[in-house]
A and B are shown apart, each in its own frame.
Chain A
Amino acid sequence: MWMNVVVVDQSAVNTDQIIPGEFLTDDRKEFLAKGLFAGMAEIRSAVFDTNGNALWVVLARDNFGSGSSREHAVWALQGAGCAAVVAQDFARIFRRNAVNSGLLPIALPENCIAELIAHAQNQDLQICYDISTYTLQARNTTSGWESQYSWALTAFERFVVNAGGLLEAMES
């Protein structure tokens, strides 16, 4: 499935930015979605510009999800329709939380991230990924540019994702 992309062209996007502390007195996804990227007006409008109820993905630089351990950051993204985060790499706790809660962390090398961000400039970048083959396809619907990348999860992460979550995996 082709998905629209919200670019957060920044290193070390932290979980306070994804969902500020003032929103942490509730943990329902639909509530948290209202606080997603609350302090980042451009990113918020990009989220709202994505197609209605269709799923979308975040594209960011390195160290995504640093800082606080709040799984609320994952839930806020999911509540707003985000299915995966494509980044150079992730902070440890965020990556675990994402896998545990079913948000896919897709890590690509620095040059691939740079290429994707370069082709996202006119907002017409779309991404499609396949977990069974660990591939990611990208296209720009205006320029016609296309590319394909490989990524991977660890064996344990794959086990959790296939089970539908950590608690489900540990019960199996």
Chain B
Amino acid sequence: MKTMAQKIIDAHTTQTLHGEPVISIDKVFCHEVTTPAAIRLLQERGNTEPFAANQVKAILDHVTPSKDTASAKQAKTLRDWAHTQGVEFFDVGNNGVGHVVFAERGEIKPGMTVIMGDSHTCTHGAFGAYAFGVGTTDLALAISQGKAVVNAPASVQVEINGALSAGVEAKDVALCVIKYFGVHGATDQVLEFTGSTIEKMVMEERTTLCNMMVECGATTALCPIDTQTFAYFAEIGIKVSEAEKSAWKAFNADINAPYTTHVQIDVSTLEPSVTWGDRPDQVVALRKLPKTKVNQVWIGSCTNGRISDLRKAAQAIRGAQVAEGVRAIVTPASTKIWQQALREGLLATFAEAGFCVTNPGCGACIGMSGGVMAPGEVCASTSNRNFAGRMGAGATVHLLSPISAVRAAIQGYIGNDKETVCG
């Protein structure tokens, strides 16, 4: 009897080193902020060659296009290395948020092991892959040797049941789960999702959910490999044979697998939610938040910048205009999504409502470019971290769903102007 995490780790374990499994890594993703130092570490050892060029992908996503000399040098370091080593590179005009770009290209398959020098790599657990964020030194090891040393996995089974009410999105479910565990409640654990709500979630919703599980400390989060998984690969044009489907499904957890614990969360009465403090577990129903004026609204990120997010957001505009005094920014998460949104008329809907439509990238979420806030300002954001100063020194962030973000842009505030109760 094994959990899903145990099955994937066991299938990839090549040896045990001082009590910890050494696993082979199927895909190593690289971006321009955390990879240049890994390249330098390898240069110092005389060889920057990847273990297998076709299993390593590199992308500019945090600051794109480059904003200054320093970021241009970072981009050039990654670009030059990728070109020299034959690593596929996603440059300006063909890039976006790595977690979204690599997923839409079908790079991540069920049962794989995936790492990136980025904490939101857990996003890919939606596909049933053991995907986790690492720092630069672990990344350097993975680039050069195709391996990582991991903790023996311990999993919590998280059963989520109930039909979501109208206007309640995967983002609200993610915030609900983080509130349940707290920012430290799942540290060193893998969250394995199950339940009727998860069964109904399409893959883009599952990526939104898994993306944020690092915010409660989880190593990664896994969704079962099921008809939603297969439907996604069919949709992006990747043929999967019946034999492959069977092999993938074999990674699903056994009945009576040895979870550290089992939790049940009912989301049938869940409401549109928002964070109120500077920790992602400080979550409250949007209608219970005291009225809070916003200076900026941002729709984008590896959490909520996908085509389904943009469709819901555009639909929520319903001919309204962005409120005076609010800067509303929408950042499609990838070039492909940007182009799709253009074809569907979504970009026109945003632009005509007064939104600024930017090129794909992570910049605003991490306070590096494309929507950095000034001290004292407030942003309603569909991203994943409301840490103090995250989107700019001295600025405050409230996390919410794309539909709720559109409402904030139109109203100019979040919360309820009638109630003043927070709790």
Contact = CB atoms under 8 A, between A and B. Distances in A.
Interface of A: 11-12, 14, 16-17, 20-22, 24-27, 38-39, 62-63, 66-71, 74, 89, 91-93, 96-97, 100-101, 154-156, 158-159, 165-167, 170-171
A22 B393 contact: yes
Nearest to B395: A39
A39 B19 contact: no
Contacts of B156: none
B149 interface: yes
B385 interface: yes
A165 B183 contact: no
Interface string B168-199: 00000000000000011001100000000000
A167 B33 contact: no
B34 A69 contact: yes
Contacts of A12: 183-184, 279
Interface string B116-127: 011100000000
Contacts, number: 132
Interface residues of B, number: 49
Interface of B: 17-20, 33-34, 36-37, 40-41, 45, 62-63, 68, 70-71, 74, 117-119, 133-138, 140-141, 145, 149, 151, 183-184, 187-188, 217, 219, 279, 366-368, 372, 385, 387-390, 393-394
Given A22-B367, A70-B34, A100 B135 contact: yes
Contacts of B136: 27, 71, 97
A68 B138 contact: no
B149 A156 contact: yes
21 contacts: A14-B387, A16-B387, A16-B390, A17-B389, A22-B372, A25-B71, A25-B74, A38-B393, A39-B394, A63-B183, A69-B34, A69-B118, A70-B34, A71-B135, A74-B135, A92-B187, A96-B134, A97-B138, A166-B138, A167-B137, A167-B140
Contact of A156 (B17, B140, B188, B390): B17
A71 B137 contact: yes
A25 B68 contact: yes
Contacts of B390: 16, 21
A93 B133 contact: yes
B184 A70 contact: no
Nearest to A158: B18
Contacts of B63: 25
A97 B137 contact: yes
Contact of A39 (B117, B145, B388): B388
Contacts of A158: 18
A104 to B, nearest CB: 15
A74 B138 CA distance: 13
Contacts of A93: 119, 133-135
A26 B69 CA distance: 10
Contacts of A89: 184, 187
B63 to A, nearest CB: 7
Given A27-B37, A97-B135, A97-B137, A69 B187 contact: no
Contacts of A92: 151, 187-188, 217, 219
A74 B118 CA distance: 15
Given A12-B184, A70-B34, A24 B62 contact: yes
A68 B214 CA distance: 9
B87 to A, nearest CB: 19
Contacts of B151: 92
Contact of B368 (A22, A38, A39): A22
B97 to A, nearest CB: 14
